[in-house]
Amino acid sequence: MTASLTNPAANPLANPLAARDHARAMAGTRVEAMPMLPPAADDLPADVAADDLLWEETIAPGGYATRRIARGARLRLIDLQGDACASMLLFNAEMPSERLNVADTVKVQWNAYLGAGKLLLSDMGRVLASIVEDEAGTHDAFCGTSNAATNAAKYGEGGNSGPHPNGRDRFLLGAAKHGLGRRDVHPCVNLFKGATIAADGAIIPQIGPFAAGRRVMLRMEMDVIVILANCPHVLDPRTDWTITPLRATAWRGAVTPEGDPIRNATPEGQRAFQNVEDYFRR
Amino acid sequence: MSDDPHLTGLPGMIVHDVIVPARAPWLHHVAAGQTLRIVDLEGNQAVDFLLYATQDDAERYSAQDTVAAQGNLFLREGTVLRSNEGRPMMTITATSVDYHDTIGGACSCESNTLRYGHHTKAEHACVENFLEANLQEGRGKRDIVSNINFFMNVPVEQDGALGIVDGISAPGLSVDLRAEMDVTVVVSNCPQINNPCNGFNPTPVRMIVSA
* d(C-alpha B72, C-alpha B89), whole Å: 18
Residues of B with Cβ-Cβ distance to A145 under 8 angstroms: 64
Among A101, A76, A83, CA closest to A187: A101
Decide: A75 and A252 in contact? Cβ < 8 Å.
no
Residue A40 within any structural domain of the chain:
no
When divided into structural domains, chain B yields a total of 1
How far apart are the C-alpha atoms of B81 and B41, rounded to whole Å? 24
Bridge partners of residue A15, in order along the sequence? none
Q: What pLDDT does A232 receive?
A: 98
Q: Do A235 and B71 touch (CB under 8 A)?
A: yes
Residue A12 domain-assigned?
no
User: Is A42 within a domain?
Assistant: no
Are the C-beta atoms of residues A129 and A227 closer than 8 Å to each other?
no
Cβ burial A9-38 (10 Å sphere, 16+ → b, else e): eeeeeeeeeeeeeeeeeeeeeeeebeeeee
Q: How confident is the model at residue A223 (pLDDT cuts 50, 70, 90)?
A: very high
Contacts of A181 in chain B (CB under 8 A): 58
Q: How many CB atoms lie within 10 A of CB A106?
A: 26
Q: What is the mean pLDDT of residues A81-104?
A: 98
Q: Is residue A234 part of a domain?
A: yes
pLDDT band at A225 (very low <50, low <70, confident <90, very high): very high
**Would you say residue B199 lies in a domain?**
no
CA separation for the pair B42, B21 (Å, rounded): 12
Cα–Cα distance for residue pair B148/B80, rounded to 1 Å: 12
Residue A6 has what pLDDT? 56
Q: Which of residues 125-154 of A touch B (CB under 8 A)?
A: 125-126, 142-145, 147-150
What pLDDT is recorded for position B169? 82
Model confidence at A7: pLDDT above 70: no
CA dihedral of residues B179, B184, B185, B191 (deg, nearest 10): -170
Q: Contact B67/A185, CB-based, under 8 Å?
A: no
Pairing of strands A127-134, A214-220: antiparallel
Does residue A18 sit within a domain?
Answer: no
Report the residue of chain A nearest B161, measured CA to CA: A111
> Exposed, middle or buried, A254 (CB in 10 Å: 0-12/13-18/19+)?
exposed
Which chain A residues have a beta carbon less than 8 Å from that of B58? Answer: 181-183
How many domains does chain A divide into?
Answer: 1
How many angstroms away from the CA of A79 is the closest CA of chain B?
23
Distance between CA atoms of residues B175 and A65, nearest Å: 42
- Nearest chain A residue to B153 by CA: give it: A201
Res. A100: pLDDT tops 60: yes
**What is the rounded CA–CA span in Å between residue B19 and residue B26?**
10
For the segment A32-48, what is each residue's pLDDT rounded down to a tens digit?
A: 999 999 999 999 999 99
Is position A48 within any domain? no
Q: What is the pLDDT of residue A1?
A: 44
| Nearest CB neighbour to A201, from listed B68, B72, B144 | B72
Please tell me the distance from the alpha carbon of residue B146 to that of residue B127, in angstroms, as a whole number.
Answer: 11
Give per-residue pLDDT as tens, A141-153.
Answer: 999 999 999 999 9
User: pTM (2 decimals)?
Assistant: 0.96
Domain carrying residue A62: 55-279
pLDDT above 50: residue A2: no
In a domain? residue B16: no
Q: Residue B62: closest CA among chain A residues belongs to which residue?
A: A187
Contact A183 B142 (CB under 8 A): yes
- How many Å lie between the alpha carbon of A171 and the closest alpha carbon of chain B? 12
- Digit-by-digit pLDDT tens for chain B (211 residues) are 568 999 999 989 999 999 999 999 999 999 999 999 999 999 999 999 999 999 999 999 999 999 999 999 999 999 999 999 999 999 999 999 999 999 999 999 999 999 999 999 999 999 999 999 999 999 999 999 999 999 999 999 999 999 999 877 889 999 999 999 999 999 999 999 998 888 889 999 999 999 9
Per the CB < 8 Å rule, is A107 touching B143? Answer: no
Q: Which of A95, A100, A106 best probes binding to B when mutated, by most B CB atoms within 10 angstroms?
A: A106
Evaluate whether residue A38 is within a structural domain. no
H or E element at residue B38: strand B35-40
How far apart (Å, rounded) are the C-alpha atoms in residues A230 and A165? Answer: 9
State the Cα–Cα distance between residues B166 and A197, nearest whole angstrom.
Answer: 20
Helix (H) or strand (E) holding B17: strand B14-20
Residue B55: inside a domain: yes
Task: Check CB contact under 8 Å for B161 and A110.
Answer: yes
Whether B204 is covered by a domain: the verdict is: no
Cα end-to-end span (Å), chain B? 16
Which one of A102, A112, A144 has the shortest CB-CB distance to B160? A112
Contact A97 B140 (CB under 8 A): yes
Mean pLDDT, range A230-242, rounded to an integer? 97
Which of A182, A233, A236, A275 has the most B C-beta neighbours within 10 Å, making it the best mutation to test the interface with B? A182
Report if residue B148 sits inside a domain. yes
ipTM of this predicted complex? Answer: 0.96
Whether residue B84 and residue A148 make contact (CB cut-off 8 A), yes or no, is: no
Q: State which residue of chain B sits closest to A110, comparing Cα positions.
A: B162
Dist CA A95 CA A179 (whole Å): 12
A184 touches chain B (CB under 8 A): yes
Please enumerate, as own/partner, the contacts of B155-159 that have beta carbons within 8 Å and a separation of 24 or more: B155/A199, B156/A112, B156/A197, B156/A199, B156/A201, B156/B73, B156/B103, B158/A199, B159/A111
Closest C-alpha to A178, from A75, A97, A59: A97
Model pLDDT for residues B191-201, shown as the tens digit of each residue = 999 988 888 89
Q: Is residue A142 part of a domain?
A: yes
User: Which domain does B81 fall in, by range?
Assistant: 25-193
pLDDT in tens, A176-189: 999 999 999 999 99
What is the β-pairing status of strands A74-79 and A246-251?
antiparallel
Q: Max alpha carbon distance in chain B (Å)?
A: 51
Q: Does A272 touch chain B (CB under 8 A)?
A: yes
